[in-house]
Structure 1
Amino acid sequence: MTTPNMPPIDLSPRDWGIVRDILAHHVPQYEVRAFGSRAKRTAKAYSDLDLAIITVLMPKEM
């Protein structure tokens, strides 16, 4: 089941709210993408949520 502003991933609205709040607090400036079984909607009840945080690459000398 999805709600407004909820991405099309296999999470309950309650769990999505928790994830959204954590991401908003810790990485508000970055794009975050889900992958794996929850993104493919093939997750089991015990499946984890795989997230990739998209950032700008920094030069090696920094």
Structure 2
Amino acid sequence: MIEKTSGTVSHATDTGKQNLCVYSSGVVKIGRTLFFVTQRMGGRIVMATSDRDGVVFANTELTAE
């Protein structure tokens, strides 16, 4: 498992969780692959959970209603 807070990760993993910072353009880079999350998430930290079937991104910020 790689846990690194930055816009990029040096190499992709088959499975695991990673905390990543979304670029201002709304892009997250894992390995050589770019994923568009949304521009509104620019500068925020997201958790990327991946396995052989795909990647799921989750917002790490909690909001109270």
User: Max radius of gyration: which structure?
Assistant: 1
Higher fraction of strand: 2
Q: What band does the TM-score fall into relative to the shorter chain?
A: 0.3 to 0.5
TM-score by length of 1: 0.43
